[in-house]
Amino acid sequence: MKKYQQKRRPLTHRIALFGGTAYVGIVSISAHDGRGVLLVASILAALVCAFVAVQTLGDSRRRSLALYGLSWTLAAADAGGHRVVFAICGTALAVTYGVDSVLHIEGKGGLAAPIRPPFRLERVAIALWAIAFVPAARDALGLTFGWPVSLVAACGFAMGASFLLLGLAALDRVRRSPHELGANVRATTALVFVGVCALSGLFLSASSPADRFAPLEASLALAAVIAAHVSEHADPGKTVKVARRAATITLFAGPVIFICAQVAQGSMLDARLALVIAAAATAAIAWAHRPLSEPMFPGRGRFIAAFVKAEEALTRLSGDDAIAAVLSLLRDPAGPDARSPALYLLHPARVLTVDSAGYVREKPGDFPPALLELAKAEPYATLRYVSLEPLYVRRADLRPISRWMTDASVDLATVVTHEGEAEGLLVMGLGRRTDPFALEEVVLVKRLCDKLASLCAMRAEAARGLIREQALMKDLEARDDEIARMEHAVSVLSAGNVAHTSRLAEPGTLGFYSPAARLAFDAIERRVQQGAPLVVLAPSGTDPVPYVARAHLGSARRGAPFVVVDGTRTRDHDVLRWSDPVSSPFTIAHKGFLFLQDGAALPQDVQALIARCLAERRPPFSHAEPLDLTVGLSSTHGLDVLPSLLEPSLAARLGDGMASAVLLPGLRDRAEDLRAIVTDRLAREGLRVRGAPVGIDDRAFAELLSYSFPGEDAELRAIATRLVADLVGDVVRASDVQALKLSDVAEKGHIFLVK
């Protein structure tokens, strides 16, 4: 059933609208008074209006019903007899919906949208035509009841008041939102066309020999239809141009036509000649309407011309020249004293202006963050200061924007959008101009910004590239400085490591002349340079550290740390110390050499930990790099006992070193080195105790040379200390050596206890 009703509804509409119009037309033809051509033409026009009303009834109810009212008015064009009732009904219908359409004009919205509801002026239109309908119906029905107003007076009053009502509706719509884009243009255009139709109706009624109310009724109904169409469907930009041209032609050609008509009517001039003169004058005025309509343009068209020229400049120029040309052209209409238009770029935050000489000036600059989003929400992505004025008192969020626009003398801000992303903001002021920017100017400035968008995007990209380059250069410079500081720190650390290792190697700088010492050192140096595990077997009393330290100084890792772990020291027996990421010997010896002096004396768990870390190349704590170090171990035990003292996994890691263990010679095997060692020990001890070096004569050295030194280097140091402590003079004599009675304790080897 619903489907059937939907299919039948358009037919019902056609029957109702066409039937009513056809009925009025049949009545008019049956009672015509000799004006057949005019009557037939008006009825055909009425049927066309009815057809259009049917087609547009679903899209625009107000415009369709106003058009239907016009069809009744045209069908009863001569308005004679009872047909005047139909003419009154049709005109009333057109006026009612025309007024309603004007009152409900929709603009582009935004901040300037109206807040107050419109007055219900369409009810006044119904009341006006009800006054005229009563005497018309009385005369049509032949009734005799009295009515205080005659039909002629009632119709005249209703038509005049209806024209005024249409004008008041347009003025009310403008008053409710004087600065809303689109709405005020449509309302003003409707007002212009109502005025033009009123003047045309008066002219036709004054010159027509027929009933004088028929032209006025038709003009009034046509004015209502045009107002309804303009209010609902007309494009505001095109409409204002048509309205401006119509107003220009009416103002300048109307008097010419009226004069020609009056002259022809008075038989002072041939009617055909008067028609030709009027047509020629109208055509000339229509052709030259641009200079005549210049006062009707917003701001006398100066900004419009500037926007057009700026668009042309963008097609001819590129880069900064195009931006300079655009900003210079936009500056001219506001006057020389006005602030220069500015182009704000978002990324990076820069502002471009132009000076009086036409050169682009660039500097850092920004605008309130909320301004961009507010402008995006406005029609044509353009925020006008005139839209903020009525609102910033009530809305706190608009006050910073209003204050910034006031301080910067900005009356218009348009978002520059490229591929859907905002690239900048074009701002400009009115200068000495008092009226705000109109719809035509806003449309042109948005079109200009759209053409300027690609240029802004390229310039912003170039600016971002320059900023990135500058930032990269600063970063590179900072990195170079950091690298220099790190290199200096590394060199200082390396120098400290070398100094520390040199101090440990200092005892071994003398006495490497004997073949036994030389062979032992060469074997150690070879293993250290290869980075292979090193095992040194040294007799008790012989310090292997100087040998290994001197070999480390000759290797590729001479600047790396040389860490000595004393296996006899209880501090190095703690597993937690080896697992500490800060104080662990693994951390200190990373990239360097880890020497386990008397390594067999370390606890088994520590040895197992060392072996596991060496095998996995990973310390027992979190570390960014693999463990990288060379390991060495010394012991006073021979190869027959040492493997049993080491943890098996550590012994396995030192397997190659165990097979190539280096045996350090004792002092008894280094007779060639003894003179240099004794001389150095006595000189250093003399400086330490007496403040001057102490020497030794040949006989005293011969006494020492005959001694076997069972305590090795430790015993030699003790002997040098005793000789300097008991010495009288500055040279050690044979008697001084004999006084130590070395032969008495040679077999026991306890020279330290000799008094």
- For residue range 548-594, list pLDDT tens digits in order: 998 888 888 888 999 999 988 888 898 888 988 888 899 888 889 99
Kindly compute the dihedral angle of the four CA atoms of residues 71, 75, 79, 84, in this order, to the nearest 10 degrees. -60
Kindly compute the dihedral angle of the four CA atoms of residues 321, 325, 331, 332, in this order, to the nearest 10 degrees. 140
How remote is the C-alpha of 275 from its chain's centroid? 66
pLDDT category at 206 given cuts 50, 70, 90 is: low
Tell me phi and psi for residue 350, to 5 degrees: -130, 155
Rg of the chain over all Cα atoms, to the nearest angstrom? 56
Three-state SS sequence of 100-121: HHHHCCCCCCCCCCCCCCCCCH
Distance separating alpha carbons of residues 222 and 219, to the nearest angstrom:
5
CB–CB of 364/349 below 8 Å?
A: yes
Distance separating alpha carbons of residues 461 and 89, to the nearest angstrom:
66
Q: How much is the pLDDT for 745?
A: 43
Give 373: exposed, middle or buried? Use CB within 10 Å, 0-12, 13-18, 19+.
Answer: exposed
Distance separating alpha carbons of residues 340 and 350, to the nearest angstrom:
15
Q: How much is the pLDDT for 735?
A: 82
Least-confidence region, from 28-32, 127-131, 408-412: 28-32
Q: How much is the pLDDT for 755?
A: 30
Q: Is the dihedral of CA 378, 379, 385, 386 positive or negative?
A: negative
Reply yes or no on whether the pLDDT at 518 is more than 50. yes
The domains of the chain are located at 10-234, 300-466, 510-665, 668-753
Of 189-203, 236-250, 468-482, give the range with the top mean pLDDT. Answer: 468-482
Q: How much is the pLDDT for 18?
A: 65
In 339-433, the DSSP E strands lie at 342-345, 350-354, 360-364, 382-384, 412-418, 421-428
Buried b (16+ CB within 10 A) or exposed e, 347-367: eeebbbbbeeeeebeeeeeeb
Do the domains spanning 300-466 and 510-665 agree at the CATH topology level? no
Buried b (16+ CB within 10 A) or exposed e, 719-743: bbbbbbeebeeeebbbebbeebebe
404-459 tens-digit pLDDT = 988 888 889 999 988 888 888 999 988 888 888 888 889 999 999 998 888 888 88
Q: What strands, in cross-sheet order, belong to the sheet with 412-418? A: 360-364, 350-354, 342-345, 421-428, 412-418, 382-384
Q: What is the mean pLDDT of residues 15-22?
A: 69
pLDDT category at 207 given cuts 50, 70, 90 is: low
Q: Both tokens of residue 234?
A: 């007309």
Tell me which fold the domain 510-665 belongs to. Rossmann fold (3.40.50)
Distance separating alpha carbons of residues 72 and 91, to the nearest angstrom:
8
pLDDT category at 240 given cuts 50, 70, 90 is: confident
Reply yes or no on whether the pLDDT at 5 is more than 70. no
Q: Where are the alpha helices (DSSP H) in 208-317?
A: 213-232, 236-265, 271-287, 289-292, 302-316
Q: How much is the pLDDT for 14?
A: 64
Q: How much is the pLDDT for 6?
A: 39
250-283 tens-digit pLDDT = 778 777 777 777 676 666 666 677 777 778 877 8
Distance separating alpha carbons of residues 724 and 669, to the nearest angstrom:
25
CB–CB of 575/609 below 8 Å?
A: yes
34-85 tens-digit pLDDT = 456 667 777 777 777 777 777 777 667 788 888 888 787 777 866 566 677 8
Q: Report the chain's mean pLDDT, rounded to a whole number.
A: 82
Q: Which of 754, 284, 714, 699 is nearest to 541 (CA)?
A: 714
Distance separating alpha carbons of residues 667 and 707, to the nearest angstrom:
10
- Domain 300-466 architecture: 2-Layer Sandwich (3.30)
Q: How much is the pLDDT for 446?
A: 92
Q: Both tokens of residue 666?
A: 């004792």
- Domain 668-753 architecture: Orthogonal Bundle (1.10)
pLDDT category at 670 given cuts 50, 70, 90 is: confident
More confident residue, 190 or 507: 190
Q: How much is the pLDDT for 269?
A: 62
Here the contacts of 129-137 (C-beta below 8 Å, separation 24 or greater) are 129/88, 129/89, 129/91, 129/92, 129/95, 129/96, 129/158, 129/162, 130/92, 131/157, 131/158, 132/88, 132/157, 132/158, 133/85, 133/88, 133/89, 133/92, 136/84, 136/85, 136/88, 137/85
Reply yes or no on whether the pLDDT at 509 is more than 80. no
Reply yes or no on whether the pLDDT at 491 is more than 70. yes
| Partners of 350 in the β-ladder | 345, 364
Q: Both tokens of residue 54?
A: 């049917």
Distance separating alpha carbons of residues 673 and 705, to the nearest angstrom:
11
Q: Which of 304, 298, 303, 334 is nearest to 438 (CA)?
A: 298
Q: Which of 659, 681, 662 is nearest to 595 (CA)?
A: 662
The pTM assigned to this predicted structure is 0.65
Reply yes or no on whether the pLDDT at 209 is more than 60. no
pLDDT category at 711 given cuts 50, 70, 90 is: confident
Q: What is the mean pLDDT of residues 496-523?
A: 82
Q: How much is the pLDDT for 415?
A: 92
Q: Both tokens of residue 683?
A: 């000189």
Reply yes or no on whether the pLDDT at 135 is more than 60. yes
728-745 tens-digit pLDDT = 888 888 888 888 887 644
What SS3 class is residue 334? coil
525-535 tens-digit pLDDT = 899 888 889 99
pLDDT category at 32 given cuts 50, 70, 90 is: low
Distance separating alpha carbons of residues 414 and 412, to the nearest angstrom:
7
330-339 tens-digit pLDDT = 888 887 777 8
Contacts of residue 677, Cβ cutoff 8 Å, sequence gap at least 6: 510, 511, 667, 716
